[in-house]
Structures are given as structure tokens and as C-alpha cells.
Amino acid sequence: NAPRAHYSRRKGNPKVLFMGLRRSGKSSIQKVVFQKLSPADTLFLESTTRIETASMQSFVTFESAEVPSQLSAIAPDFDHRAAFSSAGAVIWILDVQDEFLTSISEMIQTAVFLAENYPRVNFEVFIHKTDGLSDEYKNETFREVRQRVQDELSDLGHGDRSVSYFQTSIFDHSVFEAMSKVVQKLLPQLPAMEALLNKLCSTCRIQKAYLFDTVSKIYVATDASPTFLKDYEVCSDYVDVIVDIKQIYGWHSQEGDGKAASETSQEDGGIGESMVTYDNSGDTYIYAREINDYLSLICVMGKGSSTAKRVLIDYNVSILHDALLQVFRV
């Protein structure tokens, strides 16, 4: 992957561009991830004819844009400066359920164009609509696409260009996990957040810790232990439970002046609305804590981490909490 030094140099908000052929799923991904559209409702989406942007307010503002399929990056009338100069990443969406050779050749043209003109823009490939495919077929196609792209880029003299590949579907967690990894590379705060999470995990024997953007369920950082989709899934689902229950029973403050109150207390560095949640099912136990209005820490506690250690965890999490707020202050 791209070297770390990249991150801090980029100015402005993290911005991703979705590109790909017609009906490949660009609008669906943008709307499901950034605008909370339910995946089933994407059936009613119409074809996109103009650049469509979306943004999501979090601890930073995430921006995204869909480039309509008829606009080719290399076409002379395309204002590529406006599109690419502020972008952090271009995500190429490839529909695996469709004939994908055309998509690959357009993808190569775009990747080469970017490598030559905007080398600092990350290039990411979503091998999309993997729902309903057998694991075997899915993995085989994944390897095939990756091999082809890599071969062609080498032939064109861009073999050193780093491209990341993801298998995605809007009907499960995969598209969120992939977006998480894409977005993380655009955050200058990442190394600091990772260091804090590593510290927390080793002090409290936490199996896996994620820092979530609460609204989108993109995780903006995790500790250095191996990442498994299933850990992300359970934590992400848990964020849903908390958000839903908070919405249902938090209406007292949503209506009154509670919002203002939580904002002021945050400025003092205190916890606006603290939340501790745990759940116990077999050996797994999940702990969640709100960091601020946008970020939540969700931890999977492994075997043998008894609830008796809650005091230790609470204490260390509040230290992490304060440190994170410092990270975002600068």
C-alpha cells in the first residue's frame, strides 16, 4: 500500500470519487454508505448523468462524488482538474455479475491517466455485487480481475502503481469495511489513533478495538491485531443497536436543549454523553463507549475477560477518550 508519509501532506477534507461503467453500483454505494439509503431501495435509482456529490459530517467532513459513466477521464472535454485535484482516492466499481472486460479496459485507461497526471490520488478497485455468488466463484473472479489489471498495468509501464482490491456488496458489511480502509488512508490522524488503540488493547487485554464513525459505521481506525470481517460485523451491528435505541429513547433531549448542553460539555473536554454497554453471549462480550458526537469506541473482549475488570477498562477508556479529543483538536 501507499507509503505513510502521504497522509499528512494532503490538505482539505478526505474526498473519494466513484467511477465505473453504467449500472455498476456507484450511486448505490454512495447513497448506502454516505446517505443511509436502505440497500433494497437502490432498485429505484435512476441512471446518473451529471457529477453527483454527497458529503457526510463527522469529526471531519467526508466528501464523495459519482462521475457518470459517459464521462471518461481521458476525454478532452472533461474537466479533470476540477474532479481529481482535490480527490484523495478514486474508487473503480466493477460489476462482477456483468461482463467485466470492458470495465477492466476503461479502468486501466483511468488508472494510467491518474498515475501520469495525479500520482497522489489513491486508486482502489471494488469488485462489486458479490452477493449471491458462491465463495469459490467469488474468489476465482477476484484473483482473475486482479491478475489482469496488474498484468496490463505492468505492460504499460505502471507495474509499480499500487492498487487495492476489495470484494463488496451493498447487502452486507463488505462495502462498509472496504470504504473504511479507503477512507483511513486519507486521514492524517490515523497513526496517532492507531497508537492509542494499541495501547488500550494491550493494557486491558482487549481482543479487538474499533473506532467508528457512528453515523456511517465506517471505522476510522483499529488496533494492530489481525482484522477479521466477523469482528467488524458484530461491532458494526452493535453500533446500530446503540444508535437505534438512543434515537428511540433519547427524544427527551432531541426536543429540548440537550443538544446544546452536550456540545458545551465537549468543549470542556468532558464526556458529552457517556455510554457504557456490554453484552454477554457465550464468550463474547462487547463494550462500547461514545467518544464524542461522531466517534464511538467498540471493543470485542475475548475469552476470560470478566466483567469484574470493568473498572480498569472504564479508567483506561477515559484516558483514551481524552487523548483522542486532543488528536482532533489540532
Ligand X SMILES: Nc1nc2c(ncn2[C@@H]2O[C@H](COP(=O)(O)OP(=O)(O)OP(=O)(O)O)[C@@H](O)[C@H]2O)c(=O)[nH]1
Binding of ligand X by 45 (CB under 6 A) = yes
CA distance 228 to 195: 19
Q: Which residue has the cell 443511509?
A: 36
Q: Nearest distance from residue 126's CB to ligand X, in Å?
A: 9
Q: Grid coordinates representing 192?
A: 496517532
CA distance 185 to 122: 9
Binding of another protein by 293 (CB under 8 A) = no
Instruction: Tell me whether residue 124 is exposed, middle or buried, using C-beta atoms within 10 angstroms of its C-beta: 0 to 12, 13 to 18, 19 or more.
Output: buried
Binding of Mg ion by 48 (CB under 5 A) = yes
Of 80, 128, 217, 289, the one binding ligand X (CB under 6 A) is 128
Of 27, 110, 167, 296, the one binding Mg ion (CB under 5 A) is 27
Q: Listing from the earlier edge strand, what are the strands of the sheet with 61-66? A: 52-57, 61-66, 15-20, 89-95, 122-128, 163-168
Q: Smaller CB distance to another protein: residue 86 or 227?
A: 227
CA distance 126 to 134: 17
Per-residue CA distances from 117 to 3, 85, 154 (Å): 19, 9, 17
Residue 251 interacts, among Mg ion, another protein, ligand X, none and using kind-specific CB cut-offs from 5 to 8 Å, with another protein
Q: Smaller CB distance to ligand X: residue 169 or 214?
A: 169
Residue 189 interacts, among Mg ion, another protein, ligand X, none and using kind-specific CB cut-offs from 5 to 8 Å, with none
Binding to another protein (CB under 8 A) within 60-119 occurs at none
Q: Roughly how many angstroms between the first and final C-alpha of the chain, as a whole number?
A: 26
Per-residue binding string, another protein, 244-263, x by CB under 8 A, is: xxxxxxxxxx----x---x-
Per-residue CA distances from 79 to 17, 30, 74, 88 (Å): 14, 22, 10, 17
Binding of Mg ion by 28 (CB under 5 A) = no
Binding of another protein by 304 (CB under 8 A) = no
CB-based contact 181:164 (threshold 8 Å): yes
Residue 74 interacts, among another protein, Mg ion, ligand X, none and using kind-specific CB cut-offs from 5 to 8 Å, with none
Which stretch, 84-92, 106-114, 128-136, 227-235, contacts ligand X (CB under 6 A)?
128-136
Binding of ligand X by 15 (CB under 6 A) = no
Binding of another protein by 301 (CB under 8 A) = no
CA distance 321 to 330: 15
CB-based contact 126:96 (threshold 8 Å): no
Q: Smaller CB distance to ligand X: residue 6 or 138?
A: 138
Q: Which residues bind another protein (CB under 8 A)?
A: 38, 40, 44, 131, 171, 230-231, 233-234, 237-238, 240-242, 244-253, 258, 262, 273-284
Q: Which residues bind Mg ion (CB under 5 A)?
A: 26-27, 48
Q: Which residues bind ligand X (CB under 6 A)?
A: 20, 22-28, 42-43, 45, 47-48, 68-69, 128-129, 131, 169-171
